[in-house]
Amino acid sequence: MKLSEREKSILRESLLRFEEEREAMASLFYANMFKISPNLRPMFGSDIMGQTQKTMLELSAIVAILDDTDACARMIEELALRHIGYGVLPEHYPSVGEALLLTIQQVFGPRFSQEHYATWRAAYAEMSRIMIDAAYPDEKGIAV
């Protein structure tokens, strides 16, 4: 992912805060996502906390290697290919991104600046683009 050093710093800093707010993030993220797109609920089991831990581990792993753009892209592509098996389709990505941004805003309140919002929005859009391109090469160009 092509990000400035400042953007990488914001993402890394945010992930540290996510760890501190993990339970709030989990309950809000999935509540937001299922409110935005109720059709996604059947894709998830009952262990939402377990799913949240997996999501946090994936995000942490991606952010940890942001400086190695090739390795980062490969990790995101592998994640996308796994998501095919879960039934994730290109049209699901915008709802997940909307839920993520809303959740971050709710949990961090005024600590979540416009710069944070813009960085997370851009990072999620780039990650989604990489995932869709890898998992659904015929669907290139879907806006997230």
The per-residue pLDDT string of the chain (144 residues; one tens digit each, 9 = 90 and over) reads: 788 999 999 999 988 888 788 777 877 888 999 999 999 998 887 777 778 778 878 888 898 899 999 999 999 999 999 999 989 999 999 999 999 999 889 988 898 899 999 999 999 999 999 999 999 988 665 555
Indicate the pTM of the whole model.
Answer: 0.87
| Cα–Cα distance, 30 to 96 (Å, whole number) | 9
Q: Identify which of 22, 5, 31, 11 has the alpha carbon closest to the alpha carbon of residue 102.
A: 31
CA dihedral sign, ordered 51, 87, 28, 13? positive
DSSP 143: -
In CATH, the architecture of 5-139 is Orthogonal Bundle (1.10)
